Structure 1
Amino acid sequence: MGTGPNSPLEPRRTLVLGTSPMARELAQAYQRLGNEIQTGTVSQAREFRPQLIATTGDSPDALAEVAAVAEETGAEVAPSVSACHHTADRLAVRKQASEELGLPTLDYEFASTPQEMQDAIERIGYPCVVKAPTSNDGEGFSFVRSSGDLAVAWSNADRGVGQGAVVERFIDFDFECTILAARSIDPETGQLATWFCEPIGTHHREGRLVEAWQPAPLPQGAMDNARSIAARITGALASCGVFSIELFVSGDDVYFSQVTPRPSRDGLVTLATQRVNQFDLQARATQKLPIDSTLVSPGAVRFLPGVRPSLEAIAVAMAVEETTVRLLNDDTLIFSTADSAAEARVRTDNAARAMKKAQENAIEG
């Protein structure tokens, strides 16, 4: 390659850790920006010699090994190792948000034994939520209504590995909300800045995400509070990239729940709604490129776990106006756009029911 001012540069080598669909989407986003891509495990870094190691949250590689390889090869890690390590610990994030940053959070306590969990629940009160200290899309989640739920709640959270449980107060909130915040360099100022995507409404069942829509109808006061919380928690993590900040909204009151320093399942709705989806935003932000968080259409996504539809069932769902279907491992995702998020949700619901009916008819036939 030449070295003159107009000579092309060597492609930036980027190692994307993980092999899941989320990892593949992220790899394609980096590839669209001209990166030379390899996906897999951190052990490949010594031969590939990446300039950037992108973590996706689904890699079995320990962060300590990622940090060691990054130091050995000189690679940058995105998001930073410290951000990954910190946000993987639900209790550490909650303590930082509540005690250091003064953010509004639901009452919570950590329990290291079943008795400590029971005592914490007695103080916080029924009903409450018990979660694993580290969690991924609802794993380790239990809604505790009475003492009869305690044994199952402890088993779900602790998983027999001695990690304990987090007990959290339950509130009858209006809805759950996720703010995607992208931190990169503002080309006008040359300084680090934060961009906010339109808020995403989410619906969980037994701790697992079943639906997301964008934009969520936040009152102006709640919108201001949500963005303030997102700015403060991402600023404290001090890393470029996309952050998914999960919140509870009750009127104008907004409570911080948790933060993920990378594209999330909540943000998959942006594949249908935004000019630049969350994966492309991550590729841009982690390389300190300009950000575009424009919403081009209201939309929604419905998650159907464990559903493997026939081609006929997919066709029936896609026949719903402005609707498409994507398969993600063992899940089927139905995306719809419309003039409003509410209408898009109706379309995903209609498509899901049509798909289910087609599957049932096929079985009966």
Structure 2
Amino acid sequence: MESQLNPQVLIIGAGALAEQLETAFRGLGCATKVGPLECAAELRPDLIVNATEEFDPDALREAISRTGAAAVPSLDACRITRNREGIRRTAAEELGLPTMAYEFAKTPEELERCADEVGYPCVVKPSVSTGGLGQTVVHGSEELGGAWNSAREMRPDGSVAVERYVDFDFEVTIVTVRSVDPATGQLATWFCEPIGTRHEAGVLVEAWQPAPLSEAAMDNARSIAARISGKIGVQGVYSIELFVAGDEVYFSDVNPRPSLDGMVTVATQRVNQFELHARAVAGLPIDVTLTTPGAAHFLPAQPFDRDALARALAVEETGVQFLEDAVVIRSTAETVEEARGRAEAAARDLTA
């Protein structure tokens, strides 16, 4: 893509992430289309950008073969990151990254054995990332049956992940960029300021940037992010999820694409995560400058009346964005605490 003029880009997926990625690539002069992978046969794109984990790897491989398009992320990157087992074994066993104790079960009987080995409390999750849905914190063996059913409802095939529950201080996401450094012509790594996240029932409800990390925790977080993104190796943005407990940092997950966590960067950074992804893929200059502290609050997509929207928009330094599958409220302020308070107040106004 680096040398092409106005390349054709097919973005696979739907919803908030796909919409924002289309805007970012179009902003660089690309001809863009959001749609299913089947569009590739007629469109014959130069680049297929995957904005979702729900895709058929064999169909993607065939589309690449038939059209000659490049894929972002690459097929190898998709293979590594597509399921929790692949990610965990790469992180813990190949790279030696600190992770929670984990096992994978294919039957309810295996789940009980795995939970005993990992220890209670533990977290039972579907085999692939599901935005927090289908996850259960299990405190004893009597709860395993319900946890198995919840995970299987979200993902009927593959294994079920069992992780040791860590009493962490908070969760962070490091938006990491891999691209070509203009000064050296070699691949290099950039780190956005850490993003703190809060979930309810496993679903993201709030994100803020920058998250307060100690110097030691920051060094550990960036070391983990550099090593896992370097292992995957492709150009683009990586959303790397971590647990922080004091100065200790544990690897949780990685997605080789922008994420909902990074939606806050639309308000806080000079170049947001979607624009960074497009720039990185194109080999264009990278700028991860944070311009202001900020926070984002996430609500399910639903209609709101005009008066409620007016109240939310009256909150200082606050905007509301309606997307296909979410409503994102973003606020900025002099401090993260103030920005979080504004976003929360706007969310209350919008739903009152």
TM superposition score normalised by structure 2: 0.95
Which structure would you say has the larger Rg? 1
Counterparts of 1:257-336 in structure 2, within 5 Å, are: 257-336=252-331
Instruction: For 1:264 and 1:216, locate their aligned partners in 2 and report how far apart those are by CA, in whole Å.
Output: 17
Counterparts of 1:44-83 in structure 2, within 5 Å, are: 44-57=39-52, 61-83=55-77
Counterparts of 1:34-183 in structure 2, within 5 Å, are: 34-57=29-52, 61-159=55-153, 161-183=156-178
Counterparts of 1:221-260 in structure 2, within 5 Å, are: 221-260=216-255
Quickly say closer, same or farther: Cα 1:189–1:10, change in 2 above 3 A: closer
Instruction: For 2:185 and 2:228, locate their aligned partners in 1 and report how far apart those are by CA, in whole Å.
Output: 22
Quickly say closer, same or farther: Cα 1:240–1:253, change in 2 above 3 A: same
Q: Is the 8 A contact 1:323 1:347 kept in 2?
A: yes
Question: 140-149 or 286-295: which moved more?
Answer: 140-149
Greater RCO between the two (CA within 8 Å, min separation 6)? 2
Question: 13-22 or 179-188: which moved more?
Answer: 13-22
Instruction: For residue 217 of structure 1, give the secondary structure of its aligned residue in structure 2.
Output: coil
Q: What root-mean-square deviation, in Å, do the aligned CA atoms of Structure 1 and Structure 2 show?
A: 1.6
Q: For structure 2, list consecutive stretches of 5 or more residues without a partner in the other structure.
A: none
Instruction: For 2:314 and 2:230, locate their aligned partners in 1 and report how far apart those are by CA, in whole Å.
Output: 44
Instruction: For 1:306 and 1:276, locate their aligned partners in 2 and report how far apart those are by CA, in whole Å.
Output: 26
Q: Provide Cα deviations, 1:125-164, integer angstroms capped at 9, x if missing partner.
A: 2211111111221122111123332122101212372423
Q: Is the 8 A contact 1:308 1:330 kept in 2?
A: no
Instruction: For 1:295 and 1:52, locate their aligned partners in 2 and report how far apart those are by CA, in whole Å.
Output: 29
Instruction: For residue 86 of structure 1, give the secondary structure of its aligned residue in structure 2.
Output: helix
Deviation (angstroms), 1:219: 0.3
Instruction: For residue 184 of structure 2, give the secondary structure of its aligned residue in structure 1.
Output: coil
In structure 2, what residue type is equivalent to 1:174? D
Deviation (angstroms), 1:47: 2.3
Instruction: For residue 333 of structure 1, give the secondary structure of its aligned residue in structure 2.
Output: strand
Q: Provide Cα deviations, 1:36-85, integer angstroms capped at 9, x if missing partner.
A: 11221222222222111111016x54121112221222211011111122
Instruction: For residue 11 of structure 2, give the secondary structure of its aligned residue in structure 1.
Output: strand
TM superposition score normalised by structure 1: 0.92
Instruction: For 2:325 and 2:52, locate their aligned partners in 1 and report how far apart those are by CA, in whole Å.
Output: 18
How many residues are treated as equivalent by the alignment? 349
Q: Is the 8 A contact 1:128 1:168 kept in 2?
A: yes
Q: Is the 8 A contact 1:108 1:168 kept in 2?
A: yes
Q: Provide Cα deviations, 1:174-230, integer angstroms capped at 9, x if missing partner.
A: 100000001110001110001100000001111111110000000000000000000
Instruction: For 2:209 and 2:4, locate their aligned partners in 1 and report how far apart those are by CA, in whole Å.
Output: 38
Q: Provide Cα deviations, 1:217-260, integer angstroms capped at 9, x if missing partner.
A: 00000000000000000000011100000000001100000000
